[in-house]
């Protein structure tokens, strides 16, 4: 298995087959399909035309409020392929050297950055300077310092900075959040987040410290970090962490293979999480409260997401995550709407503050304070 994209794709293909029609929240497929939208569309250029960029582009074919209109890529052959496949005009095609000129293109509203982690910071600053809204894949940057600069650049440019937190829009996930908020689980006591798979090709960018910013934590582990926050409903205040490395040739210095980490939250709740590149079958969230529990397994794949609680199975309709994400982001940017769980750059910054603390705890062997 080569990457997290492959891992999440495998989860999708191995899950029970359900029609992949997009749906909002608890609305039925029929209700969503029957809705019409005559308003302004968010016009998006995708930067980075790899496998996930393709997944987003394909999902946007079903979007009601967002459409693909441009591309940014360093590979001319991919640009030509996308022009043909998605009907993208030549004037909306850029490479990594000239995309600053996008500022003079009134037909593009936002740029979705889907490139290696180590490139997000500089690319976000350039897109913001060009006056376009930024959608950035997670992790937003490779450390909190970068993320603060990204947030500030977008604030100064008066553009939105959103992060591709698709799971924060997933219906079964949001049902658990609702149950927690409504007190149906009682006082939250414990969260467990398991995120991992066996990574393949040792030459890929995800195992390059400069491009990835780390290893498994910066790829699959961020799901457990972010998930702990929206499942518990709080930000952690301390962390302890332990790293295990069995293959120092494949996982070079600064590229983590496996990290176990534990959080403490202001309410007294605790979390136990694992991030790894060396074990399969790890995609599970478990939330335990004084009155009940909730579980997602798989918790972060492309779907269908499966869940259950002490009240029974969760059966919200499957959502094409990227279709829903792009429509929701269009509402945020164009209509000023706010999602149930925020998707903004401040959330991306919080995750990197936490990840910085995890790496610090690995090195110190001590409990480290998290200051968000």
Smallest CA-to-CA distance from 78 within 120, 105, 115 is with 115
Distance CA 162, CA 346 (A): 9
The distance of Cα 233 from the centroid of its chain, to the nearest Å, equals 18
HSE-CB for 332 with a 13 A CA cutoff: 24
* Whether residue 252 lies in the annotated active site: no
Query: CB-based contacts of 196: which residues, under 8 Å, 6+ apart?
Result: 216, 220, 221, 258, 274, 275, 276, 277, 278, 279, 280, 282, 283
Alpha-carbon distances, residue 347 vs 5, 68, 196 (angstroms) = 22, 25, 22
For 274, residues 6+ apart whose C-beta sits below 8 A from its C-beta are 193, 194, 195, 196, 224, 258, 259, 260, 261, 282
- Which residues, 6+ apart, have CB-to-CB distance to 13 below 8 Å? none
Let me know: does 325 contact 124? Beta carbons within 8 Å.
no
Alpha helices (H) in 63-143, listed in sequence order: 76-86, 120-129
Please tell me what DSSP assigns to residue 280: S
The yes-or-no answer on residue 277 being catalytic is no
Catalytic-role residue among 32, 94, 112, 223: 223
CB-based contacts of 353, cutoff 8 Å, min separation 6: 144, 147, 370, 371, 372
Number of H helices, E strands in the chain: 11, 15
Find the catalytic residue in 64, 138, 160, 306. 138
198 within 8 A of 278, measured Cβ to Cβ: yes
| Residues catalogued as catalytic | 138, 223
């Amino acid at each position: 298995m080569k990457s997290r994209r492959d891992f999440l794709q495998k989860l999708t293909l191995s899950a029970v087959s359900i029609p992949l029609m997009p749906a909002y929240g608890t609305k039925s497929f029929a209700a969503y399909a029957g809705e019409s939208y005559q308003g302004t569309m968010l016009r998006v250029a995708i930067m980075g035309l790899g496998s996930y960029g393709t997944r987003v582009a394909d999902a946007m074919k079903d979007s009601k409020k967002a459409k693909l209109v441009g591309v940014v890529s360093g590979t001319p052959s991919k640009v030509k392929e996308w022009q043909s496949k998605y009907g993208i005009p030549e004037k909306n095609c850029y490479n990594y050297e000239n995309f600053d000129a996008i500022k003079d293109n009134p037909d593009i509203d936002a740029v979705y950055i889907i490139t290696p982690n180590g490139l997000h910071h500089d690319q976000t600053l350039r897109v913001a300077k060009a006056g376009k809204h930024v959608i950035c894949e997670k992790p937003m940057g490779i450390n909190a310092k970068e993320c603060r600069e990204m947030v500030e650049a977008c604030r100064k440019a008066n553009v939105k900075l959103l992060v591709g937190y698709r799971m924060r829009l997933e219906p079964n996930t949001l049902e658990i959040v609702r149950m927690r908020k409504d007190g149906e689980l009682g006082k939250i006591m414990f969260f467990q987040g398991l995120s991992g798979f066996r990574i393949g090709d040792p030459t890929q960018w995800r195992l390059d410290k400069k491009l990835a910013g780390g290893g498994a934590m910066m790829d699959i582990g961020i799901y457990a970090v972010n998930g702990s926050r929206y499942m518990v409903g709080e930000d952690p205040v301390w962390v302890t962490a332990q790293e295990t490395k069995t293959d120092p040739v494949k996982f070079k210095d600064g590229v983590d293979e496996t990290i176990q980490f534990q959080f403490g939250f202001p309410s007294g709740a605790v979390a136990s999480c694992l991030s790894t590149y060396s074990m399969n079958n790890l995609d599970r969230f478990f939330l335990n409260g004084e009155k009940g529990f909730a579980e997602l397994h798989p918790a972060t794949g492309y779907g269908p997401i499966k869940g259950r609680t002490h009240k029974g199975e969760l059966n919200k309709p499957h959502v094409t995550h990227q279709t829903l994400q792009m429509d929701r982001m269009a509402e945020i940017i164009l209509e000023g709407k706010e999602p149930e769980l925020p998707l903004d750059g401040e959330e991306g910054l919080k995750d990197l503050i936490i990840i910085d603390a995890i790496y610090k705890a690995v090195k110190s062997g001590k409990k480290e304070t998290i200051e968000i």
